[in-house]
Structure 1
Amino acid sequence: MATATLEQPQAQSRIKVIDADTHLTEPHDMWTRRASARFRDRVPQVRMLNGQRCWVIDGDQSIGTGAHPNSSILKQGGKVRDLDTFLKLQFEDVHTGSSNVKDRIAVMDAAGIHAQIVYPNILGFGGQASARVDPELRLECVRIYNDAMAELQEESGQRLFPMALLPWWDVAEAVKETERCAAMGLRGININSDPHTTRGDDGNMIPDLGTEHWFPLYELCNDRDIPINFHIGASETSIDWMGQQGWPSLPRDLRSGISGAMLFFNNGKVVSNLIYSGILDRFRNLKFVSVESGIGWVPFLMEALDYQLAEIAETKGFEKQPSEYFKSNFYACFWFEKNDVSDMLHKVGVDNCLFETDFPHPTSLYPIDNLEERLSSLTQEDRAKVLSRNAARLYRIAI
């Protein structure tokens, strides 16, 4: 098996580090043991489908061929860094910290991480897989997931903070679910970045995130300080692990590497559209988080948006320059970036950056290496901001 043997991760900082992007390997019974008898056979679960173990929804629709655990961290130690080997992994092969709260906390303690923000896998990073079934079932699936995440947060002793999934296909239901999840103590919502590519229950295309359609949700989040997170690959159109970016002549693992890298830039499209939509002149307190996208593209894109507005849309105007909205309303996450990352953090803005590991995905930092060295040119105050205080303020985490 192609793996890298890992030394025990060591605490890298006395700062109470908050990891702003990790994932849960959902236990196979997460939905079935919480579902009513009416839905138990229809909610997401692992079954044999066409001779292969799969995550299925509504009995026979695959939402995870192979029932892959979406973890590259092996149970016996080590990390898989070979695509073909990774794709053969099963739930039983991977580190129990991928799914078990007690074991996840042990991993965090060994790495010197105080808290983690948690995102899903099976229903899609933006909950897009749930849209494949009827409205009643999809709402039940989202509600069960959020109930499970509230339980997980409580079980962790307020160290794991999952972001709630939304029934984004129905904005009224999305508002209700956001209110319900906030009442359960969840600290943010996770949204589909391209709802306008999906038809609503009325047969019409759902409006994009820059329209009045979303004002009730934005008003709630604006008034209640609820951050809105969009993770890379958070829609059916943006998720592309294997196919469209790499040339056909390249082998699959290299095509996958290119597709994974290009996903980071896709979040820039969402940031750009949110800024140019003008909604931030109406909802000035909204906070958006670009998750697992890196930070190196931010300064160039902000300069480009300022330039383009002046050069080809001078009749349009906002209260501020486009780049200024990033400073006031957006956060971005860094993890693997090493070259001049301290300088880049300053260019993006130390108040706008969050640290992540992406545990336990293939791109994850496990172990966390040379973090202090990479941030050595930052002051202690700025280091504390990007590793802890920014996320603590945004997600209301006690440190």
Structure 2
Amino acid sequence: MPAEAATNLLIDTDVHPHLGDLSAYLPRVWGERWKRIAMGVGAAHEGNPRGVPRRDAWTPDGRLPGSDPEFMVTDHLDRYDIDYAILLPPVLPMIPDPDYANALASAYNDCLLDSWLPVSARFKGSVAVNSNDPEAAAREIRRVGSHPDMVQVLMSSVSRAPYGQRQYHAIYEAAAEFDLPVAVHPGTEGAGTAWPPTPVGYPSRYLEWHNILPITYMAQINSLICEGVFEKFPTLKFVGVEGGLAWLPHLMWRMDKNYKALRDTTPWLKRLPSEYIVEHIRFTTQPIEEPAKPAELEQILSMISAEKTVMFSSDYPHWDNDDPRLVLRRLDPAMRARIFGGTAAELYQLHTAPARTEPTWQRTKKTESKDDSTSYATVIE
């Protein structure tokens, strides 16, 4: 990739579309269930008393924030001169019925392909999967992962077992086939069959839950590295979305220290854990920690090689989203350019700025794959 192209890009790595009614993308039995109960599981904590969406992000005709792709282009991408937005639909909770959860994942992806990605070349999508059923998740990746505008796999940051364990390797194998990073996002902790949001139980309030989002990220990163996932899949990249990053230095230090004393318990590892983190794991900025002394955050960014590991995200259209004009303004220009575009451009293979005109996408007829799931071919006219 030309260095100048990457330097000049502004890429938002966490933008949430509201997909609305998915019943049209579901088989009849699941479509009826969607109309009755939607996800069918509740949150494990009190919700934000003021609501999650920003109050100024409602569409002019009164629709929910994030529900209109054309308005999102105007209200968010054009307002901040964003070149690319990585779209993350709501992550699937641990729904007890795996067939329903798998159907919802496919519906998410088909809706994104039909209703969002054709609107603007600046939209890039995430392949939603049900991580609770890794074999089905791998089939879903192979069904739609070849679409040129699908740039990563998306699953919940919580799981029934740590993500490094072997039952999840089918997901990573499929993602690696298409050179797709695997991203995780919070929001389903304790819902459905997931474990509680904390190792000691359920928080009582939204603030309490929001404060400890990084806990699951620490556990998943620890598992991925100690289980040797990045030795088995050397091209795989992992993305921690919306988990913060100020906690990362002490995790890296602790893992490195313990590895030196206990390396015989993980003989497949060939490097320090911190080296795997810098090479294979990326983190998004929002909700970035804001110490009273900004210089302290700059020190943390230096400790984690932020020019390689950190990517800008806004979390639009949520209540605590970040304005790219105001975040990390004090940073060295070279590091800021990497965080705001360069690293994401490399990760998602976004080599140049997109055309600011609406592309016309035509989906071809459905074809049956070996596993009897539907696959789609897509071309640009």
Is residue 93 of structure 2 the alignment partner of residue 128 of structure 1? Answer: yes
After superposition, the CA RMSD in angstroms is: 3.3
Look up the equivalent residue of 1:396 and give its one-letter code. Q
2:57, 2:317 within 8 Å by CA — same for their partners in 1? no
Give the equivalent residue in structure 2 for 1:188.
Answer: 152
Give the equivalent residue in structure 1 for 2:67.
Answer: 99
Give the equivalent residue in structure 1 for 2:164.
Answer: 210
Give the equivalent residue in structure 2 for 1:8.
Answer: none
1:285 deviation in Å? 1.1
1:188, 1:395 within 8 Å by CA — same for their partners in 2? yes
Distance 1:297 1:64 in 2: 25
2:152, 2:183 within 8 Å by CA — same for their partners in 1? yes
TM-score by length of 2: 0.76
Look up the equivalent residue of 2:337 and give its one-letter code. A
Distance 2:28 2:216 in 1: 40
Distance 1:301 1:39 in 2: 42
1:15 deviation in Å? 3.9
Is residue 306 of structure 2 the alignment partner of residue 342 of structure 1? Answer: no
Give the equivalent residue in structure 2 for 1:363.
Answer: 320
Give the direction of change, closer, same or farther, for the CA distance of 1:329–1:36 in structure 2 (3 Å limit): same
Percent of residue pairs identical: 20
1:22 deviation in Å? 2.1
- Taking the TM superposition and a 5 Å limit, the aligned residue runs for 1:321-332 are 321-332=272-283
Give the direction of change, closer, same or farther, for the CA distance of 1:18–1:190 in structure 2 (3 Å limit): same
1:359 deviation in Å? 1.3
1:97, 1:103 within 8 Å by CA — same for their partners in 2? no
Distance 1:107 1:321 in 2: 44
1:321 deviation in Å? 0.5
Q: Report the number of matched residues.
A: 331
1:301 deviation in Å? 0.6
Find 2:258's aligned residue among 302, 308, 321: 308
1:334 deviation in Å? 1.1
Long gaps (5+) in structure 1: 1-13, 48-54, 78-90, 198-207, 247-251
1:155 deviation in Å? 2.5
Find 1:281's aligned residue among 231, 234, 239: 231
Give the equivalent residue in structure 2 for 1:83.
Answer: none
Distance 1:32 1:67 in 2: 25
- Taking the TM superposition and a 5 Å limit, the aligned residue runs for 1:71-220 are 71-75=52-56, 96-108=64-76, 109-121=78-90, 125=91, 127-129=92-94, 131-133=95-97, 135-185=98-148, 186-196=150-160, 208-220=162-174
1:99 deviation in Å? 1.3
1:62 deviation in Å? 5.2
SS of residue paired to 1:19? strand
SS of residue paired to 1:144? helix
Distance 2:119 2:345 in 1: 17
Give the direction of change, closer, same or farther, for the CA distance of 1:95–1:392 in structure 2 (3 Å limit): farther
Give the direction of change, closer, same or farther, for the CA distance of 1:92–1:259 in structure 2 (3 Å limit): farther
1:342, 1:375 within 8 Å by CA — same for their partners in 2? no
1:256 deviation in Å? 2.0
1:272 deviation in Å? 1.0
Give the equivalent residue in structure 2 for 1:260.
Answer: 210
Give the equivalent residue in structure 1 for 2:31.
Answer: 40
Give the equivalent residue in structure 2 for 1:270.
Answer: 220
1:309 deviation in Å? 2.0
Give the equivalent residue in structure 2 for 1:231.
Answer: 185
TM-score by length of 1: 0.73
Distance 1:239 1:362 in 2: 24
2:57, 2:66 within 8 Å by CA — same for their partners in 1? no
1:107 deviation in Å? 1.7
1:98, 1:360 within 8 Å by CA — same for their partners in 2? yes
1:342 deviation in Å? 3.4
Look up the equivalent residue of 2:141 and give its one-letter code. T
Give the equivalent residue in structure 2 for 1:387.
Answer: 340
